[in-house]
Structure 1
Amino acid sequence: SARKHRMQRRKGADALPYINHPIEVADLLANTGKIDDPAALVAAVLHDTIEDTETSAEELERLFGSEVRRLVECVSDDKSLPKAERKRLQIEHAPELPLGAKWIKLADLTCNVRDIAADPPADWPVERRRQYLAWAEQVASGCRGSNAELERAFDEALAQGRRLLEEKQ
């Protein structure tokens, strides 16, 4: 994951190295969600590789196995679709995700909500950030019932994000 994302940066004003994000997602699974499933933890670290790098699903399977591939594919957008369609499909498909993918999705959303609130992309006005939080809440709602601690972490991040956005009014 570090090699695949080595030239990428997060969108926030601080432009942190991208690899921090998948590590944070895996850390949430392990330390907040108390998840010790090896495939889920590996997939958490690799969750953006198909979507955001030149990595193929076949390469993931060859290197990490079919379960890691399946989980990463489940949380990857089809970049050939328009962004609005991809966002709609994430809301629609969240309830149907396998358990490990729901964990990864919740942790990913939690990290993204924290980042959008604390270190947003410079070109994102408050209203766009507010819309992102509302969308993330809809996706997370489809992942409910999968891990109470990850759900609690998401809820706390969402509440904190909304508080920070209100202060910017």
Structure 2
Amino acid sequence: MDEVLLLTRAFAFAAEKHVHQRRKGANAEPYVNHLAEVAHLLAVAVHGRDANLVAAGLLHDVLEDTQTTRDELAATFNEDIAALVSEVTDDKSLPKQERKRQQVVHAPGKTDRAKMLKLADKTSNLRDLAASPPADWSTERRLDYVRWGRDVVAGLRGVHPWLETQFDDAAATAERALAGK
């Protein structure tokens, strides 16, 4: 499939699947904004040379947050994209704290491309936390989220210095924003 068609198809698919979702922040931005930011970070990181990875950035939450199956993802796109999305998908049958623990434990064993995807996702999440934190989250909960993000990313390091710098900047900005609260 042509790369432009692949990416526009992935964006349309993600937008349709996440149509009713909003970010948790006080501004309640459309969820698709997060997906677009993750894809953009990846596109910059790979200099536009890995359309499957960028498409996976758009689709990274579709298995976790919608009724989409891995088989549907593979049939609609390709096995590489389905594998990448599956690799970064949490097992929603587990309690939230266990899912968070597993992200930290399993981060070092991810493939390099999955590590890049997780770095872009965590960066976007921390940027959102700094700009529009969930109103019902205490400062301590917000700081805990930043600490947890740092713990996950510790296991992703060594794969892409620019993405790591983007994450570090986002974490520092979130911490500064929270210190001002």
- RMSD over aligned CA atoms reads 1.0
Q: 1:118 corresponds to which letter in structure 2?
A: A
1:64-83 map, 5 Å:
64-83=77-96
Q: Which runs of 5+ in 2 are unaligned?
A: 1-13
Q: Equivalent of 2:103, from 90, 94, 102?
A: 90
Q: Equivalent of 1:48, from 61, 74, 77?
A: 61
Partners of 1:95 and 1:35 in 2: how far apart?
25
Identity among equivalent positions (%) equals 51
| 1:36 Cα deviation after fit | 2.1
| 3-state secondary structure, aligned to 1:19 | helix
Given the two structures, how large is their TM-score scaled by the length of structure 2? 0.90
| 1:20 Cα deviation after fit | 0.7
1:151 alignment counterpart: 164
| 3-state secondary structure, aligned to 2:31 | coil
| 3-state secondary structure, aligned to 2:122 | helix
8 Å contact kept, 1:51–1:77: yes
2:43 alignment counterpart: 30
8 Å contact kept, 1:33–1:147: no
Number of equivalent positions:
168
Q: 1:77 corresponds to which letter in structure 2?
A: D
Partners of 1:33 and 1:142 in 2: how far apart?
20
| 3-state secondary structure, aligned to 2:16 | coil
| 1:30 Cα deviation after fit | 1.1
Q: Deviations over 1:138-165 (max 9, x none)?
A: 1111110111100000000111111111
Q: 2:19 corresponds to which letter in structure 1?
A: R
Q: Deviations over 1:69-124 (max 9, x none)?
A: 11101111100000000000000110011111111100000000111122011110
Q: 2:134 corresponds to which letter in structure 1?
A: P
Q: Which runs of 5+ in 1 are unaligned?
A: none
